[in-house]
Structure 1
Amino acid sequence: MTKPSLPDRPARLMDAPTALDDLLVVDFTRVVAGPACTQTLADFGAEVIKIENPDGGDDTRAYEHAEIGGESAAYLSLNRNKRGLALDLTVPEAREVARELISRADVVVENFSASVMERFGLDYASVAPTNPRLVYCSISAYGRKGPFAWRPGFDPITQAESGFMSLNGFPDGPPVRTGPPIVDMATGMSACNAILLALIARDRLGRGQHVEVALFDMAMAMTGFYGMAYLISGTNPGRFGNSPNGSPTVGVYEASDEPFYMACANDRLYHRLVTEVLGRPDLITDPEFATRKARTANKEKLRSIIAGVFAGDRLENWMVKMKNANIPVGYLRTVEQGFNAPESRERHRVGRIPHPTAGFVPNIEVPLNLELTPAVNPVAAPLLGQHTDEVLRRTLGYSDERIRALADAGAFGKLRKAAETRTS
């Protein structure tokens, strides 16, 4: 196993503004969907204050994929450009700090279990009267209202229950969840969209609102046209592996040495494939393959013919022919190959950024490109409570005496209280 060499990233233009200048976001989220949402806001200039329980913090800090500088890959990948504040919300003094931050915030994002924010007096109904322009976003598995609001749920559970998982895998195998937590990530992106929509509405209406995004709703929406087809026809869609509806010209094929993925999804591309690449114009004139319907009816026969032709030559020779014919085709890469591919390097998709304990950590670049307001230069995810004093002094204007009093009260956790006691 070879760790990739990571280049320093190109810096953004010094004088370029950001899209979300002066936006203050108080972030109570953890794990995946919520942090993915708030990271996007932070990437484009919002001041995001991540509030964590001093006892361990965000669950992803302990995830086992890989770690560097004492932080996990999962945590580092989802919490860039945020400032870390440790608060024990079971302590009244800590809740008062949270309420004061919320009173100054433009946005609050939370993904606690049902009733947690109500129990702390930090739910939308409790805080909106003192900040009517607040946009308050709740992310949950099954929504904040109704008979399912109390159910815990995670990405793979909602993939399973929504029908989304039933579409993944091969027809002769069981349903398969996606490897990456796609419902979590899509929910985070949708929550970010909902927040931005509410901010635009605030400019017009003069007030904020409560917005809500649920993983189950997102998973069901992601069944897309397969879900819509069921609603129209009543026919339950099944699994089709790498070829939608068993298309003979979409999916994985094997050259004589390596596999690749091809996607000829219309007549124009099919004609170019069989004439300019495969050298088989008979696959157009033969009545069994002359039309899309005919090719679907004889898909196994056509797939076998195409597979036989591809097996007769090396991958690179086919890639040259298909690219010359402008056929959509791609290498079937591993993560290692993908991250070291020319597309990744030329587009500056990966790099390294400074980190207080590791020296440097890897960084996957923001996938959104805004010409006038580019993403900020990335700052690594904060250590647990790293910016507690800074946030209290700079954002809330607290004195050293008040910060010490909060520490003595246990607002920042037992370890901080013990440390303050030892040094006093």
Structure 2
Amino acid sequence: MRMTDVPSFGNLEGLTVVCMGNTIAAPFAAELMAEHGACVIYVENTDRPDIGRVSLCPYGFITEHRNELFMAINLKNIEGEQVFIEILKKTDILIEGLKGGTFTELGLSDKRLWAENEKLVIVHVSGFGESGLAEYLRRPSYDPIGQAAGGFMSINGFPEPSPPLRAPFVCDYYTALFACWSALAAQMGAQRTGVGESVDVSQMEVMWKLQYGYPLEYFYSGVVHPRQGNEERDYICFGTYLCGNGRYVFICCIANGPARGLLKVLGKDNDPTYPENIQLFRRGDVAAEKVETALKQYCLDNEAEKVEKELNANGVPCSFIHDIETIQTDPQALERGLFTEWSDDRFGKLKGVNIVPKMSNRPGMFWGGARDHGADNRDILSELGYTDKKIEELYKKGVLAELRDGGYFASKAMHIKNRDQINIIMEEEKNEDF
């Protein structure tokens, strides 16, 4: 598939993005752009595909690489480097997710790339950044490392036993969002000034950025914010509540409107104990604790669906705690088309989450599923002026590659629900040449 074959749609129509870097942070940033019209080329290693392809069941990779073109280039080969440079000459944004400093070591420093394309926006995504102590720059980092180094584990979960890992991959996804918005901001600057930009996104720093006022609280008053589970430190009528049918809801009773609404539902709206301007139910306050006790009993006496409906009708924020099965019948999810189907060349018709967010005038769309490893090498290079003979030479030299089964290690495991069957397939494929 050629770059010019990408359909025209969305707010990012005409934008060309090249991305390389294993699941998830850097690739997801590019995927968000692809869903809104950018032409995204995902570049993988010639002999080691994205780790998402070789996981037990590559659902994540398939979901988060829709609308993309795929190449496999050996950047350690001088001709591979030149192929990559030729692509970047036609590129607006490069997103790379390798260890800090790796691109410079490959001879692809920002300065070198700007010599070829002065307006190029270069986004570096790594665990600890592109500058600083060499020891940190070379550290490998995945989502859990970012959560740990970024202090996120220390403020989440219950006090005991150990700091938890938040799923799925919250550090990677937060990092991807920062990479995406900063890339587009830098692109606006490049369009205005004619000068490119280098963006340095660190997983560790992203996670510290997302900690509300906790760092300020520490610097101002010396308080280290504790892990407190699903409860708020200072007030109650806020948290997870078990209902009569064994399901849970989450209730957030904050501010005057919700507080008055909750008192009404519990039959305490005329109780003079609670002033008209009540904002919160303070932890430790005797009257507030009575409301908390009544709320717990109210939930136990009713099914979760009724609790959700009645509290919301009275202005109290409350949601049924959904899983993937229960959300299938949620009327709002159905009305807005939360899930959609698309066609995948290898796995057929698939279903997953739709475009988020929704755009009214120039909406996003899915035009195709994830493609095989190196699937578009030939078309893209032909589009750039390479002859068929030259392309074949590059394959023979190992500059380009297309791996067996599209690079999927456990491709046969798709649609198999029995874990033992999947393990058998894994053992079979381990014994085959890859």
Indicate the TM-score class for this superposition, using the shorter chain for normalisation: 0.7 to 0.9
Q: What TM-score, normalized to structure 1?
A: 0.86
> Could you tell me which residue of structure 2 aligns to residue 23 of structure 1?
15
SS at match of 1:297: coil
- State which of 52, 55, 62 in structure 2 corresponds to 1:60: 52
- State which of 361, 370, 375 in structure 2 corresponds to 1:381: 370
Q: Which range moves more in the overlay, 187-196 or 258-267?
A: 258-267
Task: Determine if the alignment matches structure 1 residue 307 to structure 2 residue 296.
Answer: yes
SS at match of 1:296: coil
> Within 5 Å, which residues of 2 pair with 1:159-174?
159-174=147-162
- State which of 76, 81, 86 in structure 2 corresponds to 1:90: 76
Q: What TM-score, normalized to structure 2?
A: 0.84
Deviations 1:138-179 (A, max 9, x none): 001110111022222222122122221111112344321211
> Could you tell me which residue of structure 2 aligns to residue 346 of structure 1?
335
Task: Determine if the alignment matches structure 1 residue 323 to structure 2 residue 309.
Answer: no
Offset at residue 340 of structure 1 (A):
4.6
Q: Distance in 1 between matches of 2:277 and 2:181?
A: 44
Contact 1:288 / 1:295 at 8 angstroms: preserved in 2?
no
SS at match of 2:52: helix
5+ residue gaps, structure 1: 1-14, 67-71, 417-424
Task: Determine if the alignment matches structure 1 residue 295 to structure 2 residue 282.
Answer: yes
- State which of 266, 280, 294 in structure 2 corresponds to 1:278: 266
Contact 1:93 / 1:411 at 8 angstroms: preserved in 2?
yes
Q: Distance in 1 between matches of 2:67 and 2:180?
A: 16
> Could you tell me which residue of structure 1 aligns to residue 43 of structure 2?
51
Change (3 A) 1:21 1:280: same
Q: Distance in 1 between matches of 2:94 and 2:10?
A: 20
- State which of 216, 219, 235 in structure 1 corresponds to 2:207: 219
Contact 1:262 / 1:330 at 8 angstroms: preserved in 2?
yes
Task: Determine if the alignment matches structure 1 residue 115 to structure 2 residue 107.
Answer: no
Deviations 1:177-198 (A, max 9, x none): 2111111101111111111111
> Could you tell me which residue of structure 1 aligns to residue 325 of structure 2?
336
Change (3 A) 1:281 1:131: same
RMSD across aligned C-alpha pairs, in angstroms?
Answer: 2.3
| Amino acid aligned to 2:282 | R
Stretches of 4+ moved more than 6 A in 1?
287-290
Task: Determine if the alignment matches structure 1 residue 392 to structure 2 residue 378.
Answer: no
> Could you tell me which residue of structure 1 aligns to residue 3 of structure 2?
none
5+ residue gaps, structure 2: 1-6, 405-434
Offset at residue 295 of structure 1 (A):
2.9
> Could you tell me which residue of structure 2 aligns to residue 153 of structure 1?
141
- State which of 124, 132, 137 in structure 1 corresponds to 2:118: 132
> Could you tell me which residue of structure 2 aligns to residue 181 of structure 1?
169
SS at match of 1:44: coil
Contact 2:72 / 2:373 at 8 angstroms: preserved in 1?
yes
Q: Percent identity?
A: 25
Deviations 1:313-333 (A, max 9, x none): 333433342232132111122
> Could you tell me which residue of structure 2 aligns to residue 101 of structure 1?
87
SS at match of 1:227: helix
Contact 2:85 / 2:116 at 8 angstroms: preserved in 1?
no
